[in-house]
Structure 1
Amino acid sequence: MTTLVMFDDERAGGWAPFALTRPCGELVFGRWTLRERLERVARTRVAGHVTRPWLHRYAEPGAPRCLDAGGLSTPCTVWNARAVPSLEAAWNDAPANLWVADRLAGVRPGAGAEPPQADWFAAPRPRPGLPDHEVPGAWLRDPWDLVAAGPDRLAADLTAVPGAEASAPPDGCWRLGDAPIHLGEGARVEPGVLFDAREGPIELGPGVQVRSGTRLGGPLYAGAGSQLLGGHISRFSGGPGSRVRGEVDHVTTLGYSNKAHDGFLGHAYLGCWVNLGAGTVTSDLKHTYGSIRVGPPGARRDTGLLKFGCLLGDHVKTGVGTRLETGAVVGAGSSLFGAEPPPRWVEPFSWGGGRNTEPHRRGDFLSTAARVVERRGLEGTPEFRNWLGDVWDEACRS
């Protein structure tokens, strides 16, 4: 069996705000990360990621390490993180150029053949002499595609997952619709919860807690140990350990992010360890009902989306009453507070209110990040601090 490796091409390297802190294969799309999806299709573990050089000490529990692009072992298969294979795709170890929707998604050179060299990964090219193999699937072009296509992908994933027989709503709860409901081991649902399964399945992972007064709208997936604390939560994928309350729609959160208070969050994607202060609200629709533009001043790009709220990088924090404008992108490690809304583009490791921010000091950021992790019973290890320290150095070295 060949070694399976994921890589970020040049376009994935521009996936702000997430590409600064993690390989793009470790982003959730639907029920799984892009890496976990590939593993399900290939029926083998991904050995590592070829990605940006400052992530060489990336150290997230359960995720593979980052690899030296010039030192891959053979035989190997390399696969673009932006290519999303269908769960039904056939997979084998035969040498081939691998295509998804008429674009090169990866290469399997075969035993004895040289793996791709370091300069190949930014702009992949077919390997001469190899046969072509088409893998059914789709492409993610930009990070907001994770938002726009996430709920449909989640509904398909939850429908495709084989597993235990569907659960009945717990005593004192209600359901609408016929899509399956699955409750993981140890999930606790208080009386007075409505399961609205008219638009898709609902799955609560092991140890999930749902408080009375919560309306769950499918498709919805809450990862292990998450807490759903009240309000209307629909078309949501999050966890593990996420805490969610309020009006939440079309949202993905990575692990251990908190929106534990009231306030609207819509058409958004949150990284790991994000904390939204009480009353933080987002806008996901322009007054003009026009398509939403995203990016730094002078370089905004049209997403083509009528609804799009925000992208928040890892370890972002907002103060009480923060208002995020339509199409906001907030860089990793930023801490935003004050009465004035922040700009629609916030550089990584920004500290302060409104448009007057300063860099979040390295030592203060790392100490806070370790403290936050330890509050959840995890360890702020030296490896954890080294990884985030390298990220800070890359973003703030100027």
Structure 2
Amino acid sequence: MTTLVMFDDERADGWAPFALTRPCGELVFGRWTLRERLERVARMRVAGHVTRPWLRRYAEPGAPRCLDAGGLGAPCTAWNARAVPSLEAAWNDAPANLWVAGELAGVRLGAGAEPPRADWFAAPRPRSGLPDREVPGAWLRYPWDLVSAGPDRLGADLAASSGTEAAALPSGCWRLGDAPIRLGEGARVEPGVLFDAREGPIELGSGVEVRGGTRLGGPLYAGSGSQLLGGHISRFSGGPGSRVRGEVDRVTMLGHSNKAHDGFLGHAYLGSWINLGASTVNSDLKHTYGSIRVGPPGARRDTGLMKFGCLLGDHVKTGVGTRLETGTVVGAGSSLFGAEPPPRWVEPFSWGGGRSPDLHRRGDFLSTAVRVVERRGREGSPELRNWLGDVWDEARRS
């Protein structure tokens, strides 16, 4: 049986702030991670990721390991993490060059074929002698595509879901619209919750808690064990174990992150194990209504988007009242606080406030990361420390 692997090409290697800490296949786009989507289409598990060398000890529970780019064998299928196959795409094991929207998305090699060389993954090329096969789908070009295209993808994913629709809403709740509403096993919804399904389905995973006074606007997905604590939460995909409150619109949040207080968060993408202090807010619209530029000083790129809030890397923390300007990118492991807004480009493992934060020292960062994980009932294992320690070391080298 063929082995299925995902890989990050040289474009994905520049997907700040997420590429520093995780393979891009472990980013959520719509209802699922990019890896989970590929697994649904291929009907088989991804064996691992070919990605950046400092992620060799990546150890997120439930995710496959990272692989040695030079150690693959055949038969195998290598798929670009930025290529998003349609859920209806046909899949088979016949050797072929695999194309999405006119660009090479991967290659499927039969038994006895020479596996891809390590340098192939950065800039993949078609394998001579193989037929070409078009796979329906689309491409993610930049990390902010996860924000701009995420809600529509989420709506389509939830509409295609085969889950069972709730026969009736919990007592004391209201409904607007006709899109499906699905409540996972053990979901607890207090009286006084409004389900607004006029613009898309709403799905709550197992064990999700929704407090009274929350307005849920579809399309919306809350992963298992998440808590929706009040306010207006719409076009949101998050979890597992996310905590969300306030005005939240067009936001994706990876697992175990907290926005448990009031404040606006819009057109944003948050990594894992983030904690936003009370009244942390972001802007997602310029006063000029012009397109938003993103990137480090001297190398900003025009996104072409009129609305775009922020990208926050894994293990970011903000203090009370932090204000994030339009188009802010915060590197992984940063801890931001103080009266002055941080810069629009925050290097990984920054510490403090103002326009020139200090360094979040290695030992302090790792101790905090372990403490946060253990507070949620997870093990602060040596594997976790090794993975995040490697990430800190790489950030200091670059």
> What displacement does 1:397 show?
3.2
- One-letter code of the match for 2:313? G
Following superposition, the deviation at residue 168 of structure 1 comes to 2.2
The CA deviation string for residues 205-242 of structure 1, in whole angstroms up to 9 with x for no partner, is 00000000000000000000000000000000000000
Partners of 1:191 and 1:53 in 2: CA distance? 50
Q: What amino acid maps onto 2:44 in structure 1?
A: T
- Secondary structure in structure 1 of the residue aligned to 2:47: strand
TM-score, L = length of structure 1: 0.99
Counterpart of 2:378 in structure 1 is 378
Partner SS for 1:394: helix
Q: Which residue of 2 aligns with 1:3?
A: 3
Partner of 2:40: 40
The question of 1:326 aligning with 2:343 is answered no
What is the rounded CA distance, in whole Å, between the counterparts of 1:110 and 1:84 in structure 2?
23
How do 1:102-251 residues align onto structure 2 when only pairs under 5 Å count?
102-251=102-251
Contact in 2 for aligned 1:49/1:66 (Cα 8 Å)? yes
1:166, distance to aligned residue in structure 2 (A): 3.5
Q: Is the 8 A contact 1:167 1:180 kept in 2?
A: no
Residue 162 of structure 1 aligns to a residue whose secondary structure is coil
Aligned: 1:256 with 2:256: yes
Q: How far, CA to CA, are the matches of 1:299 and 1:330 in structure 2?
A: 16
In 2, are the aligned partners of 1:225 and 1:241 still within 8 Å (CA)? yes
The equivalent of 2:87 in structure 1 is: 87
User: What letter is aligned with 1:302?
Assistant: D
Q: Which residue of 1 aligns with 2:265?
A: 265
Q: State the alpha-carbon separation in 1 of the partners of residues 339 and 163 from structure 2.
A: 48
For residues 71 and 342 of structure 1, the distance between their equivalents in structure 2, rounded to whole angstroms, comes to 43
Shift of 1:246: 0.1
| Amino acid corresponding to residue 21 of structure 1 in structure 2 | T
Matched residues in 2 for 1:117 and 1:304: separation? 36
Residue correspondences, number: 398
CA distance in 2 between partners of 1:307 and 1:168 (Å) = 36
Q: Distance in 1 between matches of 2:168 and 2:74?
A: 49
Residue identity in the other structure for 2:40: R
User: Matched residue of 1:182: which SS?
Assistant: strand
Would the aligned equivalents of 1:101 and 1:138 in 2 still touch at CA under 8 Å? yes
How many angstroms does 1:165 deviate by?
A: 3.5
Q: For residue 70 of structure 2, what is the aligned residue in structure 1?
A: 70
Alpha-carbon deviation of 1:356?
Answer: 2.5
1:254-275 Cα distance to aligned partner (Å, 9 max, x none): 0000000000000000000010
Task: Please state whether the residue corresponding to 2:159 is helix, strand or coil.
Answer: helix
Matched, 1:394 2:394: yes
CA-CA distance at 1:40 after TM superposition: 0.1
Distance in 1 (alpha carbons) for counterparts of 2:7 and 2:197: 36
The letter for the 2-side match of 1:7 is F
> Residue 165 of structure 2 contacts residue 183 of structure 2 at CA under 8 Å; is this kept in 1?
no
Instruction: State the AA in 2 paired with 1:262.
Output: D
Instruction: Give how far 1:345 is off.
Output: 0.1
CA distance in 2, matches of 1:131, 1:145: 31
**What is the CA–CA distance in structure 2 between the aligned matches of 1:356 and 1:212, rounded to whole Å?**
41
Deviations 1:154-195 (A, max 9, x none): 000001111224442211000000000000000000000000
Asked if the contact 1:168–1:181 (Cα under 8 Å) also holds between the matched residues in 2, the reply is no
- The alpha-carbon deviation at position 110 of structure 1 amounts to 1.1
Contact in 2 for aligned 1:250/1:268 (Cα 8 Å): yes
Equivalent pair of 1:167/1:183 in contact (CA under 8 Å): no
Q: Bigger shift: 356-365 or 19-28?
A: 356-365
Q: Distance in 2 between matches of 1:163 and 1:182?
A: 7
- 2:23 maps to 23
User: Unpaired runs of 5+ in structure 1?
Assistant: none
Q: Deviations over 1:69-122 (max 9, x none)?
A: 000121100000000000000000000000000000000121110110000000
- 1:378 Cα shift? 0.3
**2:158 is paired with a residue of what secondary structure?**
helix
Write out aligned runs for 1:284-295 (5 A): 284-295=284-295
Q: What are the superposed Cα offsets for residues 35-58 of structure 1, whole Å, 9 maximum, x if unpaired?
A: 000000000000000000000000
Distance 1:303 1:168 in 2: 43
CA–CA separation in structure 1 for the residues paired with 2:115 and 2:250 = 40
The amino acid that maps onto 2:12 is: A
Q: Secondary structure at the match of 1:46?
A: coil
Question: 2: CA distance between counterparts of 1:362 and 1:275?
Answer: 19
- Return the alpha-carbon distance in structure 1 between the equivalents of residues 357 and 167 of structure 2: 49
Say if 1:280 and 1:107 are closer, same or farther in 2 by CA, change over 3 A.
same
The residue matched to 2:133 in structure 1 has which SS? strand
Tell me the secondary structure at the aligned position of residue 218 of structure 1.
strand
| 3-state secondary structure, aligned to 2:386 | helix
Partner Cα separation in structure 2 for residue 246 and residue 273 of structure 1:
19
DSSP-derived class of the 2:372 partner: helix
How far does residue 354 in structure 1 lie from its aligned partner after superposition? 1.1
Equivalent pair of 2:165/2:181 in contact (CA under 8 Å) = no
Give the share of equivalent positions with the same residue, in percent.
89
Which residue matches 2:100?
Answer: 100
What is the DSSP-based 3-state SS (H/G/I as helix, E as strand, rest coil) of the residue aligned with 1:367? helix
Aligned partners of 2:285, 2:181: CA distance in 1, in Å? 31
The 8 Å contact of residues 308 and 327 in structure 1, kept in 2 or not, is answered as yes
Structure 2 CA distance for aligned equivalents of residues 138 and 256 of structure 1: 29
- Report if aligned partners of 1:248, 1:266 keep a CA contact under 8 Å in 2: yes
For 2:70 and 2:356, locate their aligned partners in 1 and report how far apart those are by CA, in whole Å: 42
CA distance in 1, matches of 2:394, 2:217: 40
8 Å contact from structure 1 (residues 30, 150) kept in 2: yes
Question: Are the aligned partners of 2:163 and 2:182 in contact in 1 as well (CA < 8 Å)?
Answer: no
